Amino acid sequence: MDFSLSPEHAELQERTRVFIREKIIPLEGDKRQTRHGPTDEFRRELNKLAAEAGLIAPHVGVEYGGLGLSHVGKAIVFEEAGYSLLGGLALNISAPDEGNMHLLEQVATHEQKERYLRPLASGEVRSCFCMTEPPPGSGSDPAAMKSTCVKDGDHYVINGDKWFITGAEGAAFAIIMVKGEDGAATMFLSPMDAPGIEIVRTMDSLDQGFPGGHCVVKFTDLRVHESAILGELGKGFRYAQVRLAPARLTHCMRWLGAARRAHSIATEYARHREAFGQKLGHHEGVGFMLADNEMDIRVARLMIWQTAWVLDQGERGGTESSMAKVVCSEAIWRVVDRSVQVLGGQGVTGETLVERIFREVRGFRIYDGPSEVHRWSLAQKIMRQGANW
């Protein structure tokens, strides 16, 4: 593995870095950021800036307006974008849209790509992904899914309840995962304004960075034509892994950028704040936290790049992305938590961005599979195949 950047990647990294610092960071105080995410008006303005800079949807194929980046290329750009909490949104690489674009590009028909992927990649619309359910339905265990589809002529009738559906409010369309009468899962595409779809409520949460918030969505006799099947009938669980394995990794990339930002703010504070006769960072307790931050950031980056390299070889990379998700989410959390501690009282106020980053990254240890579930899954594989398979 060669970790040196190609000239093309180095240029793209620098261009993204400059764009974030000059165009996006100055907008971080914009009042169009609500408790449940930035408004769509603000999002479109950010997308326009990225499009003008040639950085919109860099993960999507060139034919749909993107840059067609490899996973390693995404690791470089997504980390730089994540340095601002608005960066991923500006480049149109935030969840759930980023993962939905990847899935659509992999398995959708040409007609579906033109109808759904093209406007999604340009930032014209947003989307949502409906899989997680309230108890007793599926959470980390998709096999527990209770939402159903029943064939009726050339249509399917969908019923069920979903929650923690990010971006549902204001989304143009949804990817809906349900079980058929044979117990196999299938994914469907549907406009969100179709009869039978109800947004029950928007859930309050620690984070506030996702447009449309996190919602409870109810499906009551939703009729979708068989042409709305995404991929093939009965292969929903397989497609879930097609979407989730890379999406776990792109979360790591973006949040690593945010962790770097928190560390940078804490470091500057430690270099200038004086206590007990010397700069704060010269006190061993604080200096060690900064040193630990540097090590966690570098370990997380190496894990991301190694996993991205595996995916670029054409391998599924499910186990690798699962391990990366745990390692990175835990390391990123430690970096941000230490940054709060270094800042002291400032760290728990809105006086710096660190308090906001703290709230945003906490959920990362839970969504896309809690750390405990990934550890359990890895342990099962070790028990079946032994260590270092």
* DSSP secondary structure of 148-161: EEEEETTEEEEEEE
Burial (CB count <10 Å: 0-12, 13-18, 19+), residue 350: exposed
Strand partners, 148: 159, 179
Q: Where are the alpha helices (DSSP H) in the chain?
A: 7-19, 40-52, 71-81, 87-90, 97-107, 110-112, 118-122, 236-272, 284-312, 318-343, 354-362, 371-385
Backbone angles phi, psi at 227, to 5 degrees: -70, -10
Answer whether 276's CB lies under 8 Å from 334's CB.
no
Per-residue pLDDT of the chain (389 residues; tens, 9 = 90+): 677 899 999 999 999 999 999 999 999 999 999 999 999 999 999 999 999 999 999 999 999 999 999 999 999 999 999 999 999 999 999 999 999 999 999 999 999 999 999 999 999 999 999 999 999 999 989 889 999 999 999 999 999 999 999 999 999 999 999 999 999 999 999 999 999 999 999 999 999 999 999 999 999 999 999 999 999 999 999 999 999 989 999 999 999 999 999 999 999 999 999 999 999 999 999 999 999 999 999 999 999 999 999 999 988 788 999 999 999 999 999 999 999 999 999 999 999 999 999 999 999 999 999 999 999 999 999 999 987 75
Q: What is the pLDDT of residue 93?
A: 98
281 closest CA partner among 265, 293, 269, 294: 269
CA angle 30, 31, 33 (to 5 degrees): 90
Q: Using CA atoms, how far apart are residues 226 and 120, in angstroms rounded to an integer?
A: 22
Q: Using CA atoms, how far apart are residues 11 and 43, in angstroms rounded to an integer?
A: 26
Q: What is the pLDDT of residue 316?
A: 75
Q: Which two tokens stand for residue 42?
A: 């603000």
* Domains identified in the chain and CATH numbers: 7-122 (1.10.540.10), 127-234 (2.40.110.10), 237-385 (1.20.140.10)
Burial (CB count <10 Å: 0-12, 13-18, 19+), residue 158: buried
Residue located via tokens 């989304």: 171
pTM for this predicted structure: 0.96
Q: What is the pLDDT of residue 47?
A: 98
* DSSP secondary structure of 111-140: HHIIIIIHHHHHTS--EEEE---STTS-SS
Task: Tell me how long the chain is.
Answer: 389
Q: Which two tokens stand for residue 355?
A: 């308090």
Q: Using CA atoms, how far apart are residues 367 and 374, in angstroms rounded to an integer?
A: 11
Residues near 36 by Cβ (< 8 Å), separated by ≥ 6?
Answer: 169, 202, 208, 210, 212, 213, 214
176 closest CA partner among 342, 161, 305, 199: 161
Q: Using CA atoms, how far apart are residues 19 and 77, in angstroms rounded to an integer?
A: 11
Q: Which two tokens stand for residue 332?
A: 């990123």
Centre a 10 Å sphere on the Cβ of residue 182 and count the other Cβ atoms it contains: 8
201 closest CA partner among 172, 164, 148: 164
- What is residue 5's DSSP assignment? P
Half-sphere exposure of 270 (CA within 13 A, CB side): 24
